Every structure is written in C-alpha cells, then in structure tokens.
Amino acid sequence: MSKQDDKFKQLVSHCKEYGFIFQSSEIYDGLSAAYDYGPYGVELKNNIKSYWWKSMVLMHQNIVGLDAAIFMEPRTWKASGHVDAFNDPMIDNKDSKKRYRADVLVENYIDKIEGKINKEITKAKKRFGDAFNEEEFRSTNQRVLNNQEKMDTIAKRLANGMRDNNLADVKALIEELEIACPVSGSRNWTEVRQFNLMFSTQLGNISGEAGKLYLRPETAQGIFVNFLNVQKSTRQKIPFGIAQIGKAFRNEIVARQFIFRMREFEQMEMQFFVQPGEEMKWYKYWKDARMKWHQAIGTPADKLRFHDHDNLAHYANAAVDIQFDFPFGFKELEGIHSRTDFDLTQHQELSGRKLQYFDPEREESYVPYVVETSIGCDRMFLAVMSQALQEEVVPDAKGNDSTRTVLKIHPALAPVKCTVLPLVKNKEVLTTKAKEIFNQLKFSFNCQYDEKDAIGRRYRRQDAIGTPYCITVDFDTLEDNTVTIRDRDTLKQERISISEIENIVKEKIDMKQLFHETETVA
Ligand code: GAP
C-alpha cells in the first residue's frame, strides 16, 4: 500500500473515531456513497458553509441568498438539458461484473503517466538541489516531454469522444491503452453505454411518467427559475449574483473515495448575472476571487491549481476547475463556469415566461449571461480535513519525544474554539472555577468543558479534534484569577487573566481576517 493510501485510510478512520463522519445506516452494514456528519463534523461543515455564505452574501452588496425547494416542476430538467444529457459513460467488466465510468478509467491511466513525470521531477530536484528549475526541466527533459505528449493526446481523444458522444471510440481507447479491470485483471469489457445520473421519485399517488419527479442534481436551476423574482424583489441591477447552499443528488456509477463522490451531497453555488459580452471579465474575476478564498484559510498555493476543462459541458463557453491535491492526487474541488444565456433562454422557451432584464442604462431588455461558481461542501470538508490532519513529534510533559495527531484547521473553521480544563478532576475548587469560566464563555463561541483523564491526554484529544485553544484552571487561578491558554499549533502556554480569555479567543476565530484577505476588486 502506498504512503498516500495509508494517509487516506488514516483520515477516514480519524473521521469516524473522533465523531466527524459515520457511514450512513452503519448498523445495517451501511449504504454506499451516503454519509452522516457526527458532532464535530456538523460543526466544521456549518463553519465551512458560513465562511462561503458570508464571503458571498455579506461581502458583496450585489449578491443575495436563496433557499429553493429540492423538488422542481419536471420540465425544469428538460429545459436544463439534464433529462437528455446528464449522463456518464459506463462500462462493465464481464469477468468481475464490476461497473466503471469509462472516462474515469482513462483519466486514471493519464494520472499514472503524470505520476511518472512527477517522479522524474522529484529525482531531478534531489540531484540539482537549489539550482533546480522545474519549468526548464519540464520543457527540455525528453522523457518528461514524451510523457506529456502522450497525456495530452489521450486527454484530447477522450474529450472528443465525450463531446461527440462517440462511445465506440472511448471503448477503442480503453482497448488500445490495454486498461485492465483492477479487480479481475482482465480486459474483457462490455460496450460503453450512457447512464443518466438523475434520481427520480413519484409525486403523491400519481403513477407513471405523469407523476415522475426528479431529485435535483444541482442547486443552480432553483436559482435560474427564480432569477426575476429575486431581481425584482431586491431591486438588483446587473451585474448581480444569487447564492444558495443545498442538497443535490446524483446516481453516480462509481461512488468511491469516501465523501469525494457521494450520491447525496451538498453544493454551494452562486450564479452571477452579467451583460452579454462581459462574461469573460467576470469569469476571470471569479477565478481569482475563488482561489483567494481557498488560500485564505491557509491552504498552500502548491496544493491548489486551475485545470481548464478539456470537454465543455453543454451549457458552457468557458470552464475551469480548481483542483486540490487530495490524498489520492489532484482532483476537482470547485468549478467555475461561464454558462452563457443557455439556462435562462431554455427556461424562457419551455415555460413561455420572459426571463429578461430591463437595463435602465442601455434602455433595452436582454437575457443576461451567467458566470457560476460551484463547490461541493463535502468535497471542501475533505480538502480541509486532509490538509489539516498531521502527525508531529513533540515533547511530552517530561520532555521526551512523543507523537501527537493534530488537526491544524484554521481557528475560524475549527468545530470547537476553546476547551476549559481543570488541572485535576478530584479537586472541587478547581472544577467549580473551571465550570464557572465555561459557563461565561459558552455564550460567545463553541466551547467545551472536560475533566476526564490526565491533563496530557485531554490536550491530545483536543488536538485531534482541532481545538485551537485550551484553557487550564490550576491552583494559581484561585489566588490571582489567571489561567493558562495553550495554543494548539505552537504548544505555547501563556498566563492570562480570566477577563482576557473571551477577547483573545474571539479575535483569533473571527472570520473578518479571512474576508480582508479575500477582498477582490472587480
Ligand atoms: N451547477 C454546476 C455543477 O453542478 P459540477 O461540476 O457537476 O457543476 C459542482 O459540480 C461541484 O459539486 C463539484 O466541483 C464538486 O465539488 C461537487 N460535486 C459534484 N458531484 C459530486 C458528488 N457526487 N459528490 C460530492 N460532491 C460533488
């Protein structure tokens, strides 16, 4: 097993052991690709949503919120193209009977070639030390150039096959690359077929097609159909945006990699309505703004990258992913799409209602163009956790080396902000004082009181759930009303007065600092 696999396994078991994420219906052996968020998971997820929501709705006068229903009139999905084109190409291995996404099999093959390039670069870095210039190496080393060309040719052929719905060529590509089933090892494949990803259910007691309802596969359509309601009721002028957080459902062919690809998940989407012709300016603006949002919480720049789509969706004239370096490699975390006027025009045609904006400056009506930012909340959760979970060697109470597991989550996102600990459990004077402090702090932020186990073990437990500050009440507290405050990351302990705790913690956990860092001028 590779180091990366180990890290991922450790992350999944940490999420369970410390109450972040549980398999759905676990006592019945679980339901695949559905997960439940535990006590710390729900806090972290809420904080991620709050960081996104505030950065959109509070920080932009011209972005407003919406919470549309999951069920929509079924014609919505005909208009959006989902009924006809929201498909993934599937292929089965006849020996193992396992089902795969044909495009993902090819993408995994491309990832392997990329792995070879990265190995060459790591080797060369070691050999040349500080003098190493990666850009120059990539553009001159023959092995890297050959592999890059191979990757580009395969990616282009896959993109063309997908765009033209040429599934026979996707199958031919799998055969030519000699891709084998990871389970049976055989190359005995079926034809590639399209599989629609929408879940459906029935409305009331109406049976058959007439009562067929879909569970929304994206939140965006709730925004499009409400475009004029929101614009008129809030008197917004173009450019303006509508933001929404909500559940989406996709019957993914293969849903693996924990919460990376789920069948029920949550999206945070924002549709930005602009004048036709101005969409590229806003597309660049949102690319820049969204990258800053990711970096502000401490994600290093080399863990994030842009990846232009090789295969544009039916509605887009430009599209880019922000990819994150997950434990299983760089994968899509967020999408930024220039969706043209596709959706509004389609809804206009199918509903028979005008979805046009009257522009008072241009004195004309038009269907606006849309730039969308769309991020999966669960995927963001996985990115935050995989970046934060670390093992460190630190000195223990006696000064010996010991290993600690710590979640270095930005304090603004941490599930618990501060925990109050009496130094020892069985001294009532200490526990009473500690509870008194806890009962003051609980009004201001998510705070815990903990008296179980030895103090060292309690610190380690707080490190493992990412609590940025531990407040310890000892015998000096009773004399001079001071406590120690321990910083999760530096392990420094400082003595401060009880009256200072609230302000110190509040300042460190405040999202304000993040918004200052992410402010982008249009
Ligand atoms: N409205 C555009 C749209 O839905 P998308 O690229 O299909 O675009 C946007 O999805 C984001 O939603 C992705 O970048 C990803 O973060 C998240 N997402 C998509 N499918 C998902 C799944 N099955 N499980 C978890 N997150 C998913």
pLDDT digit string, tens, across residues 355-388: 999 999 999 999 999 999 999 999 999 999 999 9
Q: Which residues on neighbouring strands pair with residue 325, listed in sequence order?
A: 330
Closest alpha carbon to 175 in 91, 83, 68: 91
Residue 338 pLDDT exceeds 90: yes
CB distance 468 to 510 below 8 Å: no
Closest residue to atom 18 of ligand 1, CA basis: 376
111 Cβ below 6 A of ligand 1 = no
120 CA from centroid of ligand 1 (Å):
32
Ligand 1 proximity of 430 Cβ (cutoff 6 Å): no
In the numeric block, the tokens 């592999």 are attached to 147
Report residue 35 as tokens. 């997960």
Distances, alpha carbon 264 to alpha carbons 32, 218, 245, 267, 270, in Å: 10, 11, 14, 10, 19
Closest ligand 1 atom, residue 250 Cα = 23
21 C-alpha to ligand 1 centroid (Å): 19
Interval 394-451: pLDDT, tens: 887 778 888 999 999 999 999 999 999 999 988 899 999 999 999 999 999 999 999 9
The secondary structure of 30-93 as a DSSP string is --TT-EEE-HHHHHHHHHHHHHHHIIIIIT-TTEEEE---SB--THHHHHTTHHHH-EEEEEEB
Pocket test for ligand 1, best of 374, 377, 380 (most atoms within 8 A of CB): 374
Q: Note the pLDDT of residue 457.
A: 92
Q: Which of 122-131, 292-301, 381-390 has the lowest mean pLDDT?
A: 122-131
- 122-126, 290-294, 319-323, range with the lowest pLDDT: 122-126
The residue whose C-alpha atom lies closest to atom 26 belonging to ligand 1 is 376
Answer yes or no: are the C-beta atoms of 253 and 100 closer than 8 Å: yes
Q: Flag whether pLDDT at 119 surpasses 80.
A: yes
CA distance 304 to 186: 35
Mutating to test ligand 1, I would choose from 320, 379, 381 the residue with most ligand atoms within 8 A of its C-beta, which is: 379
Question: How many angstroms does the Cα of residue 198 sit away from the middle of ligand 1?
Answer: 13
Residue 60: both structure tokens together: 């932009």
Query: Would you say the C-alpha torsion 19, 21, 25, 29 has a positive or negative sign?
Result: negative
Question: Is residue 267 lining ligand 1, measured as CB closer than 6 Å?
Answer: yes
Q: Is 302 exposed, middle or buried (0-12, 13-18, 19+ CB in 10 A)?
A: exposed
Q: Compute, in angstroms, the gap from residue 7 CA to the centroid of ligand 1.
A: 24
Q: What is the DSSP string of 94-144?
A: TTT--EEEHHHHHHHHHHHHHHHHHHHHHHHHHHHGGG--HHHHHHH-HHH
Q: Are 403 and 392 in contact (CB under 8 A)?
A: yes
Our answer on whether the CB atom of 252 is closer than 6 Å to any ligand 1 atom is yes
Pocket perturbation via mutation, ligand 1, pick of 48, 265, 306 by most ligand atoms within 8 A of CB = 265
Contact 311, 163 (CB under 8 A): yes
pLDDT class of 316 with cuts at 50, 70, 90: confident
pLDDT at 357: 96
Distance 267 CA to ligand 1 centre (A): 7
pLDDT in the model for residue 204: 80
Structure tokens of 74?
Answer: 């079924």
**CA 462/CA 421 separation, integer angstroms:** 11
Summarize the confidence of residues 171-196 as an average pLDDT. Answer: 96
Query: Rounded CA gap, 386 and 376, in Å?
Result: 15
Q: What share of the chain in percent tops pLDDT 90? A: 86
Instruction: Find the range with the poorest average confidence among 5-19, 153-167, 168-182, 388-402.
Output: 388-402
| Whole-number Å distance between alpha carbons of 63 and 57 | 5
Q: Quick: pLDDT tens for 471-483.
A: 999 999 999 999 9
Range 303-329 average pLDDT: 90
Cβ neighbour number for residue 28 with a 10 Å cutoff: 8
Task: Provide the pLDDT for residue 315.
Answer: 78
What residue owns the CA closest to ligand 1's atom 20?
A: 261
Mean pLDDT score of the chain:
94
Residue 218 beta carbon below 6 angstroms from any ligand 1 atom: yes
| C-alpha distances out from residue 176 to 151, 180, 194, 341, Å | 14, 11, 21, 39
Rg (the chain; Cα; Å): 26
The reply to whether ligand 1 has any atom less than 6 angstroms from the CB of 375 is: yes
Section 288-294 average pLDDT: 97
For residue 207, the SS3 value is coil
Atom 25 (ligand 1) nearest CA: 261
What is the CA(268)–ligand 1 centre distance, in A? 9
What's the pLDDT at 1?
Answer: 58
Q: Is 101 in the pocket of ligand 1 (CB under 6 A)?
A: no
Residues 242-284 have pLDDT tens digits of 999 999 999 998 877 999 999 999 999 999 999 999 999 999 9
250 lines ligand 1 (CB under 6 A): yes
Q: Whose CA is nearest to atom 7 of ligand 1?
A: 218
pLDDT at residue number 309: 86
Annotate 307-318 with DSSP letters as a single string.
EE-SS--TT-SE
Query: In angstroms, what is the span from residue 145 Cα to ligand 1's centroid?
Result: 32
Q: Which atom of ligand 1 is nearest to the CA of 220?
A: 1
The phi, psi pair for 442, rounded to 5°, reads: -60, -20
| 3-state SS, residue 481 | coil
Pair of tokens at residue 120: 């060459």
56-98 per-position pLDDT tens digit: 999 999 999 999 999 999 999 999 999 998 999 999 999 999 9
Residue nearest to atom 19 of ligand 1 (CA): 376
Listed residue (511, 10, 507) closest to 258, CA to CA: 10
Given the structure tokens 């660049």, which residue do they identify?
284
The CA 217 to ligand 1 mean position distance, Å, reads 9
Q: What is the band of 519 on the pLDDT scale with cuts at 50, 70, 90?
A: confident
Would you state the pLDDT for residue 522? 52
For residue 38, the CA-to-ligand 1 centroid distance in Å is 22
Distance 111 CA to ligand 1 centre (A): 20
Question: Ligand 1 center to residue 337 CA distance, Å?
Answer: 12
Ligand 1 close to Cβ of residue 374 (< 6 A): yes
* pLDDT tens digits along 189-201: 999 999 999 999 9
Percent of the chain topping pLDDT 70: 99
Find where tokens 């800053």 sit.
292
Strands annotated E in 296-449: 304-308, 318-326, 329-340, 357-359, 364-366, 369-376, 389-395, 401-407, 418-422, 447-449
For 39-53, 141-155, 219-233, 384-398, which range has the lowest pLDDT when averaged over its residues?
Answer: 384-398
Which run of H or of E encompasses 433? helix 428-441
Residue 237 dihedral angles phi and psi, to the nearest 5°: -110, 145
- Reduce the DSSP state of residue 399 to 3 states and report it: coil
pLDDT of 521 > 60? The answer is no
More confident residue, 211 or 454: 454
The distance from CA 317 to its chain's CA centroid, rounded to whole angstroms, is: 24
Token digits for 263?
């069948």
Q: How many whole angstroms separate alpha carbon 522 and alpha carbon 513?
A: 20
Quick check: 379 and 262 in contact, CB under 8 A? no
Measured CA to CA, the distance from residue 12 to residue 386 in angstroms comes to 10
What's the rounded Cα separation, in Å, for the pair 137 and 336?
A: 31
Q: Which atom of ligand 1 is nearest to the CA of 332?
A: 14
Residue nearest to atom 15 of ligand 1 (CA): 376
Burial (CB count <10 Å: 0-12, 13-18, 19+), residue 210: exposed
Distance 63 CA to ligand 1 centre (A): 21
